Structure formats: C-alpha cells, structure tokens
A and B are shown apart, each in its own frame.
Chain A
C-alpha cells in the first residue's frame, strides 16, 4: 500500500520569506499526489494535485509543488509567505482507480511577523 512521510512536524518562517514543506511517498507505480491545507477549526482544503504531465504543479494561494520521481518527493513551495498561510499542511497520495488516499502526519506552519 502507498504511504506518505512528512519529515517536519513544525516549521517556523518569517513573513515574506520563502517556504518549502517536504513530502516523501512510497508507492510502486506513479502515484497521484496532493497537498491540503487545514486552517484552525476548519476542514481540509485542496491546494494542488499531481496526476501526470508537467512535474511542476501550480495551485491556489500562490503555492506550487514539484514531483521528483527519482527522489519520491512532492515538496510544496511558496516564494513569499504571508501571515495568513499559518496552518497545518498535509501531503497525500492516492492510486489510480482507487479512492483510497493516504495522508501524511502533517506539518504545522507558524509565520513570524
């Protein structure tokens, strides 16, 4: 079965600084990859997803992620973080024809003024 690892439990960045959240997956074939964001007290919102094609994926709120098959990674990036980006971020992996998605443990992002 597929699995996801988010190595960083908590990351703190200054407002305006760049951000990279790490995600590594384990799956034998090409996976479907996702990033979700969870603001305090809210459900999860889809930021972006990768199914196939261009390995650099653009999402909402200025986020992007790059699929690197050789590293089994799908890291999330943002060039300049805003205070409103403080939230918990989840990476997830799915497989074709099976809606069984596996989520990572999450990375909590704190943004310093």
Chain B
C-alpha cells in the first residue's frame, strides 16, 4: 500500500531533550515536506526537500532540522525542543515539484513540557 509513515504518533517530552520524528514513504517520491498544524493557523511548512541531499526552509524553520540522505526518509529533528513547538506535525510527499498530489502521513502529536 502506498503510504507515508510517521513515527511516533504521540510523543510527550521535556524541554531541551533532543528528539527525532521519522517519516518514510514507499512511493519513490522525490519531494517531501514537513508541516505543523496549529489551531486557527492551518498548516505551515517547516522544511521541504526536492530530492536526496536537497533541503530548504519553509515558513517556520526555526528550531528544526531535517536531513535527506535517502529518497524514502525525511526525519524531522528538534535539537532542543521548547513548549512553543507543541503541535501536530505532518509529513507529506509528492512525485516531484510539479506534482501537487500530496500524500500525507497520519501525523505526530508532540507535547513539550
């Protein structure tokens, strides 16, 4: 089944403790992206990647890192999480930059205390 898999689905952590949210897609998509969803703000893009080793900042990249060492994986790294990063995070992928049929993961609900 074609899908985007995120792990974990739920995570509670403490301020300053480094964490990684994994994202993997099995569709050989070139383009991958991370969004955060906050009430009243919709989805805001954190980082995106056009292909392996090609990443760029979205609208709200502060406090986040990403890497794209393999085509299928696009982990989101929070080096020192803070409470304002409490949010619902989504990973998405599409075949390439001109294909807008995003496939979304099921989301990761992160709480930073």
Contacts and interface: CB of A to CB of B under 8 A. Distances in A.
Contact of B102 (A44, A97, A105): A44
Contacts of B44: 103
Main secondary structure of the interface of A (DSSP, over half): strand
Contact of A43 (B4, B33, B45): B4
Interface in B98-113: 98, 100-102, 104-107
Contacts of B104: 36, 43-45
B42 A106 contact: yes
B49 to A, nearest CB: 10
A42 interface: yes
Task: Classify chain B's interface size.
Answer: 20 to 34
A46 B99 CA distance: 13
Main secondary structure of the interface of B (DSSP, over half): strand
Interface string A81-99: 0000000001010101111
A46 B102 contact: yes
A4 B48 CA distance: 20
Contact of A32 (B40, B48, B100): B100
B43 A103 contact: yes
Interface in B51-73: 58
B100 A101 contact: yes
B100 A34 contact: yes
A9 B94 CA distance: 28
Contact of B45 (A34, A100, A104): A100
9 tightest A-B CB contacts, nearest first: A43-B104, A103-B43, A103-B42, A105-B42, A44-B104, A99-B97, A43-B106, A104-B42, A43-B105
